[in-house]
Amino acid sequence: MQISLIRPDDWHLHLRDDDAMASVVAHTAERFARAIVMPNLKPPVTTTAMAMSYRERILAALPQNSDFTPLMTLYMTDHLSSDEVIAAKNSGIIKGIKLYPAGATTHSDAGVTDIRRCYPALETMQKEGLPLLIHAEVTDPDVDIFDREQVFIDRHLQPLTRDFPALPMVFEHITTKQAVDFVRANEGRLGATITVQHLLYNRNAMLVGGIRPHFYCLPILKRESHQRALIEAATSGESHFFLGTDSAPHPQHAKECACGCAGCYTAYAAIELYAELFEQVDALERLEGFASLFGPDFYGLPRNRETITLEKREWVAPESYQFGQDRVVPLGSGETISWQLVR
Ligand code: DOR
Ligand code: ZN
């Protein structure tokens, strides 16, 4: 069996930099036409000039004849100026500004300490129509890690949607039923990306029978009832839910250690894994909307014209891939994947 769909885009991706980036970018470029590239490098991508040079490095690392287009983002800080927002918008290459609460996740220490400090920049983004992409988790040590998303909704997303009614916002990598409900309640104003790991797994995959660090990402995998809400949302055909892998490669040794870092590497088989999930719930006909249509519609970008084909043919995910000087272990390594990209 084969299925064809309009070539998808990845609306949330970590590509890293230098050799590491060069060893993973082809996985994404083979499958996706475009990707929103996250700015959490070290140091973070905080200016248009930095984003332009990062974009050049990505283009230089692509395989020959690749027509993949990286869509760049800036990293929001307490000090982002309105002039920088306007420069970003006018650059034509920057499609959003990413808000990481300081300390929420990998390379977020330069993130926002108090969202009110960003209000001048947010006013300008609203005026310019430049989307705000949100890592929606509070960082307060007194909030349980499994509750950090829903607390962020009440404390920060509610006020943000009230204070910036015309600012396009993407609620990134949603992981809870509360997030699904919030996106629906704000229909037309809010988009949301959903990763494949949050669709395929719940926290049991990470914790039952031993700690499996390759399932550790942020926001963390939640309980099964949330997973079911996410599956229902992704396969609903509602246009506010679209594909964003949050594929986030780390060297093997940085994940398999006493304090392993957050991030699942899924780019190597991203669309195949989403197909697996959509097939499991008998919703393959809804995959194209989620993967290829709703994202560009939200961002006001043209839909892709070419198609890709997936074939139902089993293969085994490799134990690891080259990652700069290191190896990266993909999510699902050693497992059978039932779909293959036809090349
Ligand atoms: O698991 C994650 N990894 N979540 C994030 O928000 C960042 C990402 C990374 O950059 O590794
Ligand atoms: Zn991310």
pTM: 0.98
| Atom number of ligand 1 nearest to Cα 107 | 10
Cis check for the bond before 219: say yes or no (omega within 30 of 0): yes
CB 337 within 8 A of CB 268: no
Centroid of ligand 1 to alpha carbon of 248 (angstroms): 6
CA distance 54 to 45: 8
In this predicted structure, which of 42-51, 55-64, 96-105, 157-166 has the lowest mean pLDDT?
A: 96-105
Whole-Å CA distances, 235 to 155, 289, 314? 29, 9, 23
Closest-CA residue, ligand 1 atom 4, reads: 218
Is the Cβ atom of 168 under 6 angstroms away from ligand 1? no
**Helical H runs in 129-176?**
148-152, 158-163
Centroid of ligand 1 to alpha carbon of 98 (angstroms): 13
> Which one of 9, 78, 147, 246 is the catalytic residue?
246
- Would you state the pLDDT for residue 322? 98
Residue range 139-178, pLDDT digits in tens:
999 999 999 999 999 999 999 999 999 999 999 999 999 9
For range 108-121, the mean pLDDT: 92
For range 124-134, the mean pLDDT: 98
Q: Return all residues near 343 (Cβ < 8 A) that are at least 6 apart.
A: 30
Is the Cβ atom of 292 under 6 angstroms away from ligand 1? no
Residue range 251-299, pLDDT digits in tens:
999 999 999 999 999 999 999 999 999 999 999 999 999 999 999 999 9
CA distance 128 to 334: 46
- Mean pLDDT across the chain, nearest whole number? 97
Is the Cβ atom of 248 under 6 angstroms away from ligand 1? yes
CB 203 within 8 A of CB 144: no
| Token digits of residue 51 | 């984003």
Closest-CA residue, ligand 1 atom 7, reads: 106
Give the angle subtended at the CA of 60 by the CAs of 55 and 66, to the nearest 5°.
Answer: 95
Centroid of ligand 2 to alpha carbon of 1 (angstroms): 33
Is 246 a residue of the active site?
Answer: yes
Give the angle subtended at the CA of 220 by the CAs of 228 and 329, to the nearest 5°.
Answer: 105
Q: What is the full DSSP assignment across 268-279?
A: GGHHHHHHHHHH
- Mapped onto helix, strand or coil, the DSSP state of residue 227 is helix
Q: Which residue has the tokens 């920088």?
A: 84
- Would you state the pLDDT for residue 106? 78
Nearest ligand for residue 73 CA: 2
- Mapped onto helix, strand or coil, the DSSP state of residue 323 is strand
Confidence of residue 103 (pLDDT cuts 50, 70, 90): confident
pLDDT at 108 over 90: no
CA torsion angle 13 218 78 141 (round to 10): 180
Centroid of ligand 1 to alpha carbon of 104 (angstroms): 9
Q: Return all residues near 302 (Cβ < 8 A) that are at least 6 apart.
A: 296
CB 135 within 8 A of CB 108: yes
